């Protein structure tokens, strides 16, 4: 199937799900779907910078936060409609990502990880202390998104919109995967010196990877404002980053299918655990850590990696 056909098929399926499921399932499951779709956008973005180009950039959640506050505040303070606001907020995230990327990509793994992590914490601190803008620790109550005159007030209404956005994101990702830039990402990850020798502008590639992943995170933030009505700086923290990271690792870094599997497995897991006796709930944190540990030891290419190997063998 050609690339274009793939993209169209995915788009149609997602839109269909977005329109049909709300009529069939209780609102709670629609909420879960919306959450998973948002996580998928975040996870793809993280995969681009970490899995595709091998850079350990922890600033992802800061850009997510910029996407959320940016979209919400543009709408609430300046009346900018979502259709313009979200791309703007995502571009702002990408711009800041670019500014961070230029000095940061000079640094090697540990320093890159720490400096981007430090940036994420500084961003969280700004969200918390710039009260006149973000209402700080009180949290920001967001007004419902207005899409061409239609107000989106609940999960069922948000789902088709999120589905369309996800479809666009996936389409763009597929294009990126098959482009020269995408191939450059992988080349830089595998061996920087070889890539340099074969004419790849390593520095620019790395910067692009981080900038693009920041854009994805910003989009995910915009999606948040579609189906959530409240944001508190404490929600944008390391725990979320570790969750997205786990989704990428467990599912399979470097491929859309892998990341999707990871999002579904780790996104559905809490629901499965809900059925467990309440006394066992306290084990959740340990179980998540254990899953990540087992995944990285025994299946570093994730669940999708296992599939591909099996397919390759037969």
What is the contact surface with other proteins in residues (CB under 8 A)?
A: 26-29, 31-32, 35, 50, 54, 56, 103-104, 106-111, 113-115, 117-119, 121-122, 125, 128-129, 136-139, 141, 153-155, 189-192, 228-230, 232, 234-235, 242, 245, 249, 274, 278, 281-290, 292-293, 296-298, 300
**Residue 130: strand, helix, or coil:** coil
Contact 252, 302 (CB under 8 A): yes
Compute the least distance from the CB of residue 257 to other proteins, in Å: 19
Compute the least distance from the CB of residue 169 to other proteins, in Å: 21
Query: Which two structure tokens, joined as six digits, stand for 32?
Result: 């879960």
Compute the least distance from the CB of residue 297 to other proteins, in Å: 5
Contact 303, 258 (CB under 8 A): yes
Compute the least distance from the CB of residue 73 to other proteins, in Å: 17
| Alpha-carbon span 128 to 134, nearest angstrom | 7
Which residue's CB is nearer to other proteins, number 150 or number 230?
A: 230
**Residue 151: strand, helix, or coil:** strand
If we measure between CA atoms, which residue out of 116, 91, 109 comes closest to residue 241? Answer: 116
Which residue's CB is nearer to other proteins, number 104 or number 265?
A: 104
Compute the least distance from the CB of residue 216 to other proteins, in Å: 19
Enumerate the H helices of the chain as residue ranges.
Answer: 3-24, 27-47, 60-78, 82-104, 109-129, 131-134, 155-177, 180-190, 192-197, 202-227, 238-251, 256-274, 284-298, 302-313
Compute the least distance from the CB of residue 307 to other proteins, in Å: 17
Which residue's CB is nearer to other proteins, number 140 or number 256?
A: 140
Largest CA distance in the chain: 61
Which residue's CB is nearer to other proteins, number 167 or number 263?
A: 263
Which residue's CB is nearer to other proteins, number 141 or number 178?
A: 141
Compute the least distance from the CB of residue 224 to other proteins, in Å: 10
Helix axis angle, 238-251 to 302-313, nearest 10°: 10
| Alpha-carbon span 97 to 103, nearest angstrom | 11
Which residue's CB is nearer to other proteins, number 28 or number 150?
A: 28
| Residue 134 C-beta-side C-alpha neighbours within 13 Å | 22
| Alpha-carbon span 17 to 33, nearest angstrom | 10
Compute the least distance from the CB of residue 6 to other proteins, in Å: 27
Which residue's CB is nearer to other proteins, number 9 or number 296?
A: 296
Compute the least distance from the CB of residue 309 to other proteins, in Å: 12
If we measure between CA atoms, which residue out of 266, 262, 246 comes closest to residue 307? Answer: 262
If we measure between CA atoms, which residue out of 232, 25, 31 comes closest to residue 127? Answer: 232
Which residue's CB is nearer to other proteins, number 17 or number 126?
A: 126
Which residue's CB is nearer to other proteins, number 10 or number 32?
A: 32
């Amino acid at each position: 199937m050609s690339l274009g056909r793939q993209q169209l098929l995915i788009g149609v399926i997602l839109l269909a799900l977005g329109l049909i499921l709300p009529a069939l399932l209780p609102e709670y499951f629609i909420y879960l779907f919306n959450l998973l779709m948002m996580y998928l956008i975040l996870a793809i973005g993280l995969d681009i910078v970490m899995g595709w180009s091998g850079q350990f950039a922890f600033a992802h959640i800061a850009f997510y936060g910029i996407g959320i506050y940016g979209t919400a505040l543009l709408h609430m303070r300046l009346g900018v409609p979502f259709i313009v606001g979200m791309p703007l907020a995502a571009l702002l995230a990408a711009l800041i990502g670019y500014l961070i990327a230029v000095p940061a990509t000079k640094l090697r793994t540990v320093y890159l990880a720490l400096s981007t992590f430090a940036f994420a914490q500084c961003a969280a601190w700004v969200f918390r202390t710039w009260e006149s803008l973000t209402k700080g620790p009180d949290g920001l109550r967001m007004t419902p998104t207005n899409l061409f005159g239609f107000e989106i007030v609940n999960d069922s209404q948000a789902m088709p919109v999120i589905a369309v956005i996800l479809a666009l994101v996936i389409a763009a990702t597929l294009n990126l995967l098959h482009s020269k830039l995408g191939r450059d990402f992988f080349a830089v990850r595998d061996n920087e010196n070889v890539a340099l020798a074969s004419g790849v502008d390593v520095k620019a590639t790395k910067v692009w990877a981080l900038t693009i992943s920041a854009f994805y995170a910003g989009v995910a933030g915009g999606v948040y404002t579609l189906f959530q009505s409240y944001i508190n700086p404490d929600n944008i923290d390391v725990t979320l980053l570790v969750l997205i990271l786990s989704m990428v690792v467990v599912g399979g870094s470097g491929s859309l299918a892998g990341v999707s599997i990871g999002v579904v497995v780790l996104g559905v897991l809490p629901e499965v655990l809900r059925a467990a006796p309440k006394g066992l709930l306290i084990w959740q944190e340990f179980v998540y850590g254990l899953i990540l540990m087992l995944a990285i030891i025994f299946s570093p290419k994730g669940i999708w990696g296992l599939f591909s190997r099996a397919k390759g063998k037969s």
